[in-house]
Amino acid sequence: MSILITGGTGLVGKYLQHYLKDGIYLGSRDYDLTKEDQVIAMYEKYRPNIVIHLAAKVGGIADNIQYPFEYYEDNLLMNTLVIKHARTYNVKKFIGVLSSCIFPDVVDHYPMTEEDMHKDLPNANNFGYGYAKRVMGCHIDIAKKQGLNYSYITPSNLYGEYEHGDVSRKHFVGALLEKIHTAKVNGDDHITLFGDGTPLRQFTFAKDIAEIINLLIQYDIKENLNLTTADNLTIDQMARMALEATDSQHLKIQYDTTKPNGQYRKDIDTTKFKNIFANYKFTSYIKGIKQTYNTLYGK
């Protein structure tokens, strides 16, 4: 059985290599998935039985605000082409990875279930990225209705040891840990974060998502599932816990309120996942950030 992983050199893909050791892990240096001829060439060469579509253009809130066109178009193109030609090449099982950015900016209840995706528009700051991911969910659901074994998972924001690149392109936790490390190296007495620290967030260790993808393949799970920890913390709580976990309590937190907060809350319900894997335990936030920080920057 041939398993192809797009985005296989990224954050989740690197962890997945520990579980699916015989998978075909491809990155942006291998194929430009926004170009149809390259997507066709990828399928023509590998002809996989299973595709795990991790590839995406991702970045922090500032980058999403500055380049919404690119976040929408690049993700829409690669998602559409990868799914289209998965069907052309008779892929037997397809798992797409969405994001909690797909959900409405505000709803009348929390946490949000898988069915809440279409109730209203995504947050304006992530509109391009969020809608491109939402469209991928639609594409997969339509394929499912025509009898294909296609499904998607929707994780909360992710972090982990394999997130690299410029701080502006990182998710909040990755950027936070880099700011803490930089402040310690430079002898600064504070770190600066966007907004006022009040928004609520769920963050999941990317290793857990990789482990769950392996289980979805192992048991051939066909349902669309939200995936995250139960914790729903404020940005300020997360930042202070990170300072404690990295022995950086001497650093003060300054909030730049001229910068956006982003979506106030977007916590997601994981009842469907718990009904299937009742005994699964997500990595705690403290444990995950300690492991991430120590791996990237040393104790």
Q: Is 219 tagged catalytic? A: no
The residue from 129, 150, 162, 293 that is catalytic is 129
| Low-confidence residues of the chain: pLDDT under 50 | none
Whole-number mean pLDDT of the chain? 96
pLDDT at 253: 98
CA atoms within 13 A on the CB side of 246: 29
pLDDT of residue 148: 98
What pLDDT, on the 0 to 100 scale, is given for residue 171?
Answer: 86
Q: Give residue 285's pLDDT.
A: 96
Please give the pLDDT value at position 6: 98
Q: What is the pLDDT of residue 59?
A: 86
| Rounded Cα gap, residues 221 and 140, in angstroms | 14
Provide the pLDDT for residue 10.
Answer: 95
Q: Residue 170: what pLDDT? A: 86
Q: What is the pTM of this model?
A: 0.96
